[in-house]
Amino acid sequence: MAQQLSEYILFADETKKTSVNQYFCFAGLIIKRGVYENILIPEINKLKQNYFNSTDVVFHYTEMKNNKGVFNIFRDNTIRNKFWTDFYNTMNNIDFTTMGVYFDQSLMKNLYKGSGTTNYDIAYRHLLENYMHFLKGNDGIGSVCIESRTFKENVFLQKNHFDYLENGSIYYSNKEVVKYLSSIGFIIKGDNCVGLQIADIIPARFMRIVNKQKDNNNLNELFHKKMYYYNTKEEKILGLKNLL
């Protein structure tokens, strides 16, 4: 009898070029379904309850950085630092893996001017390749969960995903891809999806690593040491890959 594959979920999000970052990055976390449902969700909900007296609060990294809305409690540096320390300790004790891809956004645009392919679609296909490497190496079958954009954008990405399933790639046959890769799901921003709320933080922190920026509250360290192939020569190929 064939051994049943473990179930994994990749939660991924993007960050775009800014005044202090030239790169487009698409990144996130991979976690076993059971760990996600039985450990991560309850632990993050406990953190929310402790600080906001509600599990309905949706973590948005930009709002958290800028003390917006319910996150205005972070104007108090003592509370802010304690929260991020508790967040660090919570996530550090959970078994998950991070990975991502990034590229110079302006350079990519100039090189492929007039192409109908978006930065998002380019990054997604490359991230799938590394996700496949992870799934095959860990005897897992994996789904992908990302934040919903416009329906038209979702359709293009869904076609990208199913094209990969149907045709495989230069690295993996379609038979291998179908064995290890499952579905893609789109979650709207307002839904209280804990996985996507964590994924929302990761690309920006990865770019802080790349740009050698300050590691506030050790978040860079947290997500870096959880990276696929961390601290090996393969880290920049399979963990956080620079495409351009």
pTM: 0.95
Quick check: 210 and 102 in contact, CB under 8 A?
yes
The 10 Å Cβ neighbour count of residue 237 is 14
Please state which CATH number belongs to domain 6-242.
3.30.420.10
Question: What is the Rg, in whole angstroms, of the alpha carbon atoms belonging to the chain?
Answer: 18
Tens digit of each residue's pLDDT, the chain (244 residues): 557 999 999 999 999 999 899 999 999 999 999 999 999 999 999 999 999 999 999 999 999 999 999 999 999 999 999 999 999 999 999 999 999 999 999 999 888 877 778 899 999 999 999 999 999 999 999 999 999 999 999 999 999 999 999 999 999 999 999 999 999 999 997 899 999 999 999 999 999 999 999 998 999 999 999 999 999 999 999 999 999 9
Q: Parallel, antiparallel, or unpaired: how do β-strands 6-15 and 140-147 relate?
A: parallel
pLDDT of residue 114: 72
| Domain boundary assignment for the chain | 6-242
pLDDT of residue 1: 52
pLDDT of residue 2: 57
